[in-house]
Structure 1
Amino acid sequence: MYQVVKMYGDMEPWWFLDGWKDDIVQVHEFEHYYEALKCYKKEWLNLHGAHSSFNSRSSIMTAFWDIEDQRWCEECDEYVQQYYSLALLTDWQEIPEEMHRPAYDRQSDKPNHRACSIKKNKPQV
């Protein structure tokens, strides 16, 4: 089973830190990879039209952001960037390397990596 997952939060989609699923705002599920890829492309174009910056990976994951979209993090005592993320997953895991799409490995801007340092440094269970 394949999932096209949209998220909103302070982590780019490739981190998969504890609690990453809490940032999910929408899920589309498909039995076939190419149906999921078609959905991913459609969602990618929608998000690209709405946000000024993006960073895509060949693993078919993208983070979109607007530099002004930040929130105050009480835990780490600083503003952290908020990302609209999109990922194509298989059984809730990163897709295998043989399914990566090199043409998707591109960016329009350098990500603002002011993500919550406490979340990033928290050990995974």
Structure 2
Amino acid sequence: MYKIIYMKADYEPWWEFEGWQEFVVSETEFEDRLQAEQFLKNLLHDFSLKYCKKQQKKDRFWAFWSENEAVYCDNCADDLQIYHGLIWQEVE
């Protein structure tokens, strides 16, 4: 089984900090690898059009962002960048 996870957080998805699952916006599962790859390809295309910055790690993590999308952090007294992350998972 294959899973595409979309998360939105103030850090890139490859960090997978404790509790990262709380930031999951959606999960889409597929039995067929080709269908999963096509779904991911479409998401990558859509996100690339919507967000001006992109970074990829380990061929299974993608982060997208625009510098104008941030949230204020009271504890750090600063703005934190918001990232839209995609994660490719192969589930046994």
Q: Same fold (TM over 0.5)?
A: yes
The alpha-carbon deviation at position 11 of structure 1 amounts to: 1.3
Distance 1:28 1:16 in 2: 18
Give 2:7's aligned residue: 7
CA RMSD of aligned residues (A): 1.6
Q: For 1:1-125, what aligned pairs fall within 5 Å after superposition?
A: 1-91=1-91
Q: Is the CA contact (8 Å cut-off) linking 1:37 and 1:88 kept in structure 2?
A: no
**Number of equivalences:** 92
Secondary structure of the residue aligned to 1:79 is strand
The 3-state SS of whatever aligns with 2:21 is helix
Of Structure 1 and Structure 2, the greater strand share is in 2
Unaligned runs of 5+ in 2: none
Structure 1: 5+ residue runs without aligned partners? 92-125
CA distance in 1, matches of 2:58, 2:17: 20
What's the CA shift for 1:7?
Answer: 1.1
Give the TM-score, by structure 1 length: 0.67
Please give the per-residue CA displacement for 1:72-100, whole angstroms capped at 9, x wherever unaligned: 11222221100011111123xxxxxxxxx
Q: Which has the higher contact order (CA 8 A, sep 6+)?
A: 2
